[in-house]
A and B are shown apart, each in its own frame.
Chain A
Amino acid sequence: MTETLLEIDHLSVDYETGRGDLKALRDITFNVNKGEIVGIVGESGCGKSTLISSILRLTAPNTRFREGEIRFKGQDLLQASDRQMRDLRGADISIVFQDPMQTHNPVLTIGQQMLDIQHRSKQSKADKLAHAAKMLGAVGIPDPEARLKQYPHEFSGGMRQRIAIAMALMSEPDLLIADEPTTALDATLEVQIIERLQELQREFHCAILFISHHLGVIAELCDRVVVMYAGAVVESGEVREIFHDPKHPYTRRLIECDPGHIKERARVLPTIPGEVPDLANLPGGCIFRDRCDQAMARCATDVPPLDQLKEGHHAACWLNHEEVTT
């Protein structure tokens, strides 16, 4: 039943900058199974966008893949040829990028852009346009045929976000990656989009990698969740497990601040006192140490490994180690 679709395996990614290498991702490991919805949550700057852009190799030019593999259906994407990557993009894997206001080409009509992305299809232009209109209808854009003739700036942010989702689903990908697709929307629209995503997921059976600031949305939508902090995974597991019994102080703080109700959302991710470590100059020991109220001597010297605590539940904190708790 659970067939693995995407495996991120000990992935480390740096950005080369003027002040040295910024270690944006370190030793990231997790899986996405077929048809499953996995959420990624974490504060701004923790590397969520870097991670998902790495999957399609669409990162900034100063990116360096240092270590690890990204396997999709068994194939390592970091070793794939440019041609192989192009064949995957928008076919097997689709992305909805973070900022809906910048994501479409400003001088081409939505219809033209939706035509262009069907470049692999052998259908006639009229059929492709009909397909595009149908997809816009499916994400709740009224009067889709007429709106295909309009330009991006003639749509609201929420509509552009839905258009981006429609475009990503058009090819019925095996994996849909959505980078904070609801952050730009108000709460009611957010609920609508989430429900629409659930319906579409049931209809197209794609796996979804869903990134959000908002724990409530993750709780509502996802099967499993990966909690990231400062470029590393600090906890991952089933949504119910994590919300019930978080095993990392960072996750606990997140849940305390945002108890996971989709309708009462925290506008921004809750603020936890203390500073995120400098990624270009990481201290030794646990990266959460400066902000953790349960830190011990050991936390300053040794990096806690991401250990499996139960079947499918991982966390990186010394509190879970028996020598300490007893």
Chain B
Amino acid sequence: MLNFATRRFGLSLLILFVAVTVMFLMIRAVPGDPVQIMLGPRATPELQAQLTAALGLDQPIWKQLLIFYGNLLQGDLGTDVFSGRAVTDIVFQQLPYTLELIFASILWSATLGIGLGAYAAAHPNTLIDRIAAAISVSFVAAPAFVVALLALLVFAVHLQWFPAIGAGDGFLDRLDHLVLPAFAIGLSWVGYIARLVRASMLEVMGESHVRTARAFGIAERRVVMVYALRIAILPVVTVIGVGMGFLLSSAVFAEIVFARPGLGKLVIDSITTRNYPIVMGSVLISTALFVVSTALADLINALLDPRARTAH
């Protein structure tokens, strides 16, 4: 197990390195002179030269990359071009908002999706199974930003059940502000996870070891919940881990629609202003989040499935 974890960690670092390097090069390939955009058309050439030097943009690109990694190893992501604050401060200030949003979205959608899928699989082709399938399909088809806008209109503006904008202060208020955005992000996942669990569950229920469990008179509830479900949710764990990238992009929409602080909003804002250090910092953290979540999914799978521990 330990061995497995170490190898998985090494792999994560490698993925992170590659992704960040590619991102670093890509953002420099965006057309238009960043310094001009940042300073506006009326800036003096001296001012432009000064900023170019401050950002290190006068250096060859490989040197810029080296400097970036050199600073990164010391925990330094540079400073905000406009406010002069450390990028790490700004990013880590926004991070919790995005994390709580994503976590809440996964939590409610996975719980409901797994429950729905397992129930449907235990009662295949019944009316409830069909209703669940219909709900799943319509949920899967619902894009997060559309759901976010509708939820905002119906539940915040019209019914006024939940607050429309911001992230709130204090535990209960924050929770209250989480409901609508988490609902918007999670909704399509409910359907997706339910369908995944149902299919995977039906397959597992047909396997011989389930028949063995029944042949010993083990209660049907235990057969379904322990003997079958534990195997059937393995693919769900992987899908959620890998789906982190998708969740992050949904979070961007939700943060914009609900005017919530968060990483997504930060990235969008800083890209439009070509605030390179902030963009790189947020991208680095988002990528790290993605890498950590896939690694975490693999570790959870290894904990749930003894075969995965030795297979690697």
Question: Which residues from chain A sit less than 8 Å from chain B, CB to CB?
Answer: 53, 56, 58, 86-91, 94-95, 97, 99, 102-108, 116-117, 119-120, 151, 153, 164, 167
Contacts and interface: CB of A to CB of B under 8 A. Distances in A.
17 contacts: A53-B211, A89-B214, A90-B216, A94-B215, A95-B212, A97-B208, A102-B208, A102-B209, A104-B209, A105-B212, A106-B305, A108-B226, A108-B230, A116-B216, A153-B310, A164-B212, A167-B216
Of B211, B212, B214, B306, most A-chain CB atoms within 10 Å: B212
A90 B217 contact: yes
A128 to B, nearest CB: 13
Given A99-B208, A103-B208, A116-B213, A153 B218 contact: no
B227 interface: yes
Contact of A107 (B215, B216, B217, B231): B231
Contacts of B217: 86-91, 119-120
B215 A106 contact: no
Interface in B109-125: none
Interface in B191-226: 207-209, 211-219, 222, 226
Interface residues of B, number: 22
B307 interface: yes
Contacts of B230: 107-108
Given A108-B227, A153-B307, A90 B207 contact: no
Contact of A90 (B208, B209, B215, B231): B215
Contacts of B213: 105, 116
Give 10 closest A-B pairs by Cβ, nearest first: A90-B216, A89-B217, A102-B208, A117-B216, A151-B306, A90-B217, A105-B209, A86-B217, A95-B215, A103-B212
Contacts, number: 72
A99 B212 CA distance: 11
B219 A102 contact: no
Nearest to B210: A105
Interface in B288-307: 304-307
Contact of A58 (B211, B219, B222): B211
Contacts of A102: 207-209
A261 B116 CA distance: 56
Most A CB atoms within 10 A — which of B215, B219, B222, B226?
B215
Nearest to A153: B307
B156 to A, nearest CB: 44
A147 to B, nearest CB: 14
A167 B216 CA distance: 9
Given A95-B215, A116-B216, A103 B306 contact: no
A315 to B, nearest CB: 33
Which of A88, A89, A105, A119 has most chain B Cβ within 10 Å? A105
Contacts of B209: 102-106
A97 B213 CA distance: 11
A116 B213 CA distance: 9
Nearest to B308: A107
Given A58-B215, A87-B217, 20 more contacts: A58-B211, A86-B219, A89-B214, A90-B217, A95-B212, A103-B208, A103-B209, A105-B209, A105-B212, A106-B209, A106-B231, A106-B307, A116-B216, A116-B222, A119-B216, A120-B217, A151-B306, A153-B307, A153-B310, A167-B216
Contact of A89 (B208, B215, B304): B215
A225 to B, nearest CB: 24
A58 B215 CA distance: 7
Contacts of A117: 216, 218
Nearest to B227: A105
Interface in B262-293: none
Contacts of A151: 306-307
Contacts of B212: 95, 97, 103-105, 164
| Residue with the greatest number of chain A CB neighbours at <10 A, chosen from B216, B304, B307 | B216
A97 B215 CA distance: 9
Contacts of B226: 108
A88 B215 CA distance: 9
A158 B307 CA distance: 19
A99 B218 CA distance: 20
Nearest to A167: B216
A116 B212 CA distance: 12
A103 B215 CA distance: 11
Contacts of A105: 209, 212-213, 227, 231
B230 to A, nearest CB: 5
Nearest to B220: A86
A97 B230 CA distance: 22
A105 B213 CA distance: 8
A156 to B, nearest CB: 15
Contacts of A56: 215
B307 to A, nearest CB: 5
B237 to A, nearest CB: 13
Contacts of A58: 211, 214-215
A164 B209 CA distance: 11
A116 B222 CA distance: 10
Contacts of B219: 86, 119
